[in-house]
Amino acid sequence: MYYNSILETIGNTPLVKLNTVGDDIEGTVLVKVEYFNPGQSVKDRIGLKMIEDAEEKGLIKPGGTIIEGTSGNTGMGLALAAAIKGYDCIFTTTDKQSKSKIDILRAMGAKVKVCPTNVEPDDPRSYYSVAKRLSEEIPNSYYPNQYDNPSNTQAHYETTGPEIWEQTEGKITHYVAGMGTGGTISGTSKYLKEQNKHVQTIGVDSVGSVYKKYFETGEFDKNEIHPYLTEGIGEDIIPENMDFDLLDAVMQVNDKEAFLMTRALAKKEGLFVGGSCGAAVHGALEYARTSDFGKDDLMVIILPDSGARYVSKIFNDDWMREHDFLDAD
């Protein structure tokens, strides 16, 4: 048996039980390890789906250019598909993203433009605005816009949700994922709740993001927005893919909690994952400790990506100490 291209290896990632982290919790806690995808992240799923849907609609022609704003992982998913399908790529990202992510995108043949993090989304310098402007200036280009593109949510409705349902034999009671563009949590939650309306969906947000307060009050409060270092979750906008009606709770996690859990997952579980993975696990375990999660319950947490992209940051003791995430000793 062989695959016709690397794209056919996307999906069907494994579920792994947590044994040491959170061993005080009754019930079963599983993680879906998305770094088994060829581009080492959950975003491979949407990269392929968005391009295939664009091709069907005639939104991109042979030899075209894909332009997207990305924290790195979606860019990798798009770059994989582009390499096989013959498209060029230009990605915009923020200056808080790890150098490893930018280097990997360039290794895949993409051009990367780094934009400032601490500007308003509609500022012409923001990575959202720069991507949109380039897509308007460059002929035969396609701007997937993962934040508002329904193919993002649909990719998870068609793949991630069914995989989890099948892998748990329909026994899942709680689903947990970080909240970034909204596609992973919304698409998967929609599918799972259609199979069993009692499945609880818990979103994990970053301190410094608008999501938690918006979920709880319906108010978009700019005062909630401040810089944070966890990549890939939290927003200073409300994307169209973020469907709050599919959520039952939102847990907010700060950078230190996220990064220390990320390191614990490597040392105690052998799971070498990224910072948003640590945030998701920390938030999930805190939810389990403070809710009625019991011995008969089964929780699945999405681990979006690999730790390989964070070696210079989260797994670097000097960087962690500089940001007061580790004690001096």
| pLDDT tier, 289 (very low <50, low <70, confident <90, very high otherwise) | very high
| DSSP codes of every residue in 238-287 | --TT--GGG-SEEEEE-HHHHHHHHHHHHHHH---B-HHHHHHHHHHHHH
Contact 253, 279 (CB under 8 A): yes
Residue 29 has pLDDT above 70, yes or no: yes
The catalytic residue positions are 43
Residue 163: both structure tokens together: 């995989």
- Cβ-based burial of 327 (10 A; exposed 0-12, middle 13-18, buried ≥19): exposed
- Stretch 197-212: mean pLDDT: 98
| pLDDT tens profile 110-165 | 999 999 988 888 899 999 999 999 999 999 999 999 999 999 999 999 999 999 99
For the chain, the average pLDDT equals 95
| pLDDT confidence of residue 118 | 85
Q: How far is CA 135 from CA 66, 69, 102, 155, 301, in A?
A: 8, 11, 20, 23, 35
Buried b (16+ CB within 10 A) or exposed e, 130-151: bbbebbeeeeebbbbbbbebeb
Q: Parallel, antiparallel, or unpaired: how do β-strands 174-178 and 298-303 relate?
A: parallel
Residue 248 has pLDDT above 80, yes or no: yes
| DSSP codes of every residue in 50-117 | HHHHHHHTT-S-TT-EEEEE-SSHHHHHHHHHHHHHT-EEEEEEETTS-HHHHHHHHHTT-EEEEE-S
- Stretch 189-197: mean pLDDT: 98
Q: Parallel, antiparallel, or unpaired: how do β-strands 28-33 and 15-17 relate?
A: antiparallel
Residue 8 has pLDDT above 80, yes or no: yes
> What domains appear along the chain, each with residue ranges and CATH number?
6-36+157-322 (3.40.50.1100), 43-142 (3.40.50.1100)
| Dist. CA 177–CA 157, nearest whole Å | 14
| pLDDT tens profile 35-62 | 999 999 999 999 999 999 999 999 999 9
| pLDDT confidence of residue 100 | 82
| pLDDT tens profile 171-183 | 999 999 999 999 9
| pLDDT confidence of residue 328 | 63
